[in-house]
Amino acid sequence: MNTVNIGSITVGGQHPIALIAGPCVIEGLERTLKIGRGIKEITDRLGIPYIFKASFDKANRSSYSSFRGPGLTEGLKIISQIKKELGVPVVSDIHCVTQISQAAEVLDILQIPAFLCRQTDLLYQAASTGRVVNVKKGQFLAPNDMQHVINKLREAGNENILLTERGASFGYNNLVTDMRSLTIMRSFGYPVVFDATHSVQLPGGAGSTSGGQREFVPTLTRAAVATGIDMLFMEVHDNPAEALSDGPNMMYLDQLEALLKDVQAIDNVVRKHK
């Protein structure tokens, strides 16, 4: 198992589970920083390694009129301020090769959205920066197909690879998580991440927006940690009802600490058998 360094955090192998978390999209500096600060206070109390996440652009919204975020330049400026304020590594999505060089100046992890996981040029150019690259498995891919994604990244000479499970399409407007995929992808030798909140998303399930079933986040999270994952990905908000993107599947900030205590307890058992 390769380990991956993200700032001062090491993931993979026998290292404790780490958390990627934050709001779905940047909602201005003040609100986004408030959420990040709240998460960091929790992870500091529990001793969980923390990476902040927020998207500067949600390029795959259901509706053309949906809120997408502040965009590349302003979004990276906000993420840079949050990175400095919280003192943690940061991650955001990239959608095209023209964003890569600017994003790599700020981001510790370049994240490839699930719908773009087969885009060869995007993968190769992201890997060429030397930054950690986190690829979300497409809802349309079998876990074994992620070996081809790894090969594309390795062609650029980059071994700093993370693979994320976020559910597979199951009929219309529904996703299902096959827990076997986490074990299969981890067998490729790179750290695996479970996206607990997008896995309960109902894509397009609310008409012009996506729905979600956040009540199942704790269940899927505990199950995924029990498989031996290396990182947990969660979108978190202080009031998901007010969120500008993905509110129905986001975790309430005030419910996060209790779930993370369960995560730690399960992870401590699982790591003895990894």
pLDDT reported for residue 209: 61
Which range has the worst mean pLDDT, 78-82, 121-125, 173-177?
173-177
Spatial distance between the Cα atoms of 78 and 53, rounded to a whole number of angstroms: 12
Spatial distance between the Cα atoms of 218 and 258, rounded to a whole number of angstroms: 10
Confidence of residue 93 (pLDDT cuts 50, 70, 90): very high
pLDDT at residue 184 tops 60: yes
pLDDT at residue 91 tops 90: yes
pTM for the whole thing? Answer: 0.95
Closest CA to 215 of 231, 228, 230, 199: 199
Average pLDDT value for residue range 135-157? 97
Q: Class assignment of domain 12-271? A: alpha beta
Q: Report how far apart, in Å, the C-alpha atoms of 28 and of each of 81, 123, 140, 197 are.
A: 11, 29, 33, 22
Mean pLDDT of the chain: 94
All residues at 6 or more sequence positions from 136 whose CB lies less than 8 Å from its CB, including other chains: 111, 112, 113, 114, 117, 164, 166, 195, 198
pLDDT at residue 17 tops 90: yes
Q: Where are the domains of the chain?
A: 12-271
pLDDT reported for residue 246: 81
Closest CA to 246 of 74, 55, 45: 55
Average pLDDT value for residue range 196-213? 77
pLDDT reported for residue 216: 94
pLDDT single digits (tens) 29-71:
999 999 999 999 999 999 999 999 999 998 876 777 788 899 9
All residues at 6 or more sequence positions from 48 whose CB lies less than 8 Å from its CB, including other chains: 16, 17, 18, 19, 42, 260, 263, 264
pLDDT single digits (tens) 206-253:
555 667 888 999 999 999 999 999 999 999 999 999 988 888 889 999
